[in-house]
Amino acid sequence: MTATAAGNRPVRIPTDRYISPAFLQLETERLWPRVWQLACPVDQVAHSGDYYEYRCGPLSVLVVRGDDGELRAFQNACRHRGSAICEGSGSGLTQLRCPFHGWTWNLRGALREIPSRKQYGLTNDEVPLVEARVETWGPLVFVNCDPDAEPLAMFLDPLPAESAWARLDEFRCTAMVSIPARCNWKTLIDGFSETYHVQGIHPEMLGMCDDVNGPQVTWNRAGRLTQSYGLPSPRLGASGSVDDQYVWDHFVRVMGSRVGADMSNPGPCPPVGEGETLRDVLARLVAELGAARGNDYSRFTVAQLLDMEQYNLFPNLTVLVFADMVQVVRARPGAGVSDAYMDAMSFDRFPPAHPVPRRRPFEIELDPDGELPLGLVLNQDLANFARSQRGMHQPGLTDLHISPVEECRIVNQHRNLEEFLGL
């Protein structure tokens, strides 16, 4: 079952990991109860009485902002007969009351009330809610059901230091959406752990990013890709073979909102001055739009304004960081081995002294007959996952052949998976 490689030859990963119900059960028993995972944005639980239920397979963790302002997490189960106490998300809680028989705890997890208490002979101290660990990184709330797990800072290391330039604490979540996907959760997150696929399913990106020369690095639980935008892919030919108008057209189609352009109608390319490049112009437009919204981007370089830093965090998270926006994609297991959920979250930067209090992000509801609200690139990704999963069920395909260089972040993912599952 072990992923193996020799020299520069491919790492062979058994397809069984993606299609076996027994392997899914192993993950349910050994991975999800023991690993740090993103539960929700801080904005979901910014104020006293806010709550958010995070589900991952059979796990249900309740994140609550207490009346003392502290963030807490509890395994979402009544100590009486196991009923889930809260579902979904909301605000205004003053207590945690089981809807089944009315056992009630305060927002700090201490028992407050048992109807017909004399029948049970219990004191409040005997049955607090079962805690889960909860910590934050920037605008993200993480939980872990294992009381003996390493601290989140150690699990993330060195991501907080590597991403410090972006000042992630200044970002607020503006929108969230959760979409069923017809694939294994690893099939989904693997798709956000390499850019080898850009030439295949994202042809629009070839005109506006370098998908060939992006440096990658892997650490213990994480990895990073840096990818330059605002220039054509080397796959399109020698330098100078693609003009600025071509790059502008593709940049606007993929992410025109970053420069205030109409994504459906790019229009003429802005003038590029003597001694400038189109990247300089695009960076200036990003900064000007940020300034109009009260953000000072003068501290950022052209590379920081135009390049994407993609952080992959084991087991199921990718975080795309730009100077002006952050996008997060999370994969969660579904009911079966070929079912998953793709959760997408969008974050915008707000000035540190912004007068508007934090607000709960807009949770997008899907129109089953309409186009998915993810944008061009993520919609293309989602459509590809079902094809990948279907192919892995073929009986002659026993192994995947993964590049230890181009797809090193997938290799790192499986190294961690083997560690947690004891393979």
Model confidence pLDDT, tens digit, residues 252-295: 988 889 999 998 899 999 999 999 999 999 999 999 999 999 99
3-state SS, residue 7 = coil
CB 285 within 8 A of CB 266: no
In order, the DSSP letters of 207-268 are: GTB-SSS--EEE-SSEEEEEEEBSS--GGG-STTSS-HHHHHHHHHHHHGGGGT--TT---S
Model confidence pLDDT, tens digit, residues 134-173: 999 999 999 999 999 999 999 999 999 999 999 999 999 9
pLDDT for the residue numbered 357: 83
Reported as a pLDDT band with limits 50, 70 and 90, residue 383 is confident
Reported as a pLDDT band with limits 50, 70 and 90, residue 196 is low
Measured between alpha carbons, how far is residue 100 from residues 97, 103, 290, 316, 393 in Å? 9, 8, 50, 33, 42
Reported pTM: 0.92
3-state SS, residue 144 = strand
CB 403 within 8 A of CB 410: no
pLDDT for the residue numbered 5: 47
- Cα–Cα nearest to 328, from 311, 340, 341: 311
- Cα–Cα nearest to 151, from 138, 139, 136, 166: 136
CB 206 within 8 A of CB 247: no
Task: State the average pLDDT over residues 320-343.
Answer: 95
Going along the chain from its start, the domains and CATH numbers come out as: 1-34+166-423 (3.90.380), 37-148 (2.102.10.10)
Contacts of 82 (CB under 8 A, 6+ apart): none
pLDDT for the residue numbered 239: 63
Q: 382 or 396: whose pLDDT is higher?
A: 396
Helix 244-255 vs helix 278-292: crossing angle, to nearest 10 = 30
Contacts of 162 (CB under 8 A, 6+ apart): 224, 311
Residue 13 pLDDT greater than 50, yes or no: yes
Model confidence pLDDT, tens digit, residues 54-69: 999 999 999 999 999 9
Residue 197 pLDDT greater than 80, yes or no: no
Contacts of 327 (CB under 8 A, 6+ apart): 319, 320, 344, 345, 346, 347
Reported as a pLDDT band with limits 50, 70 and 90, residue 1 is very low
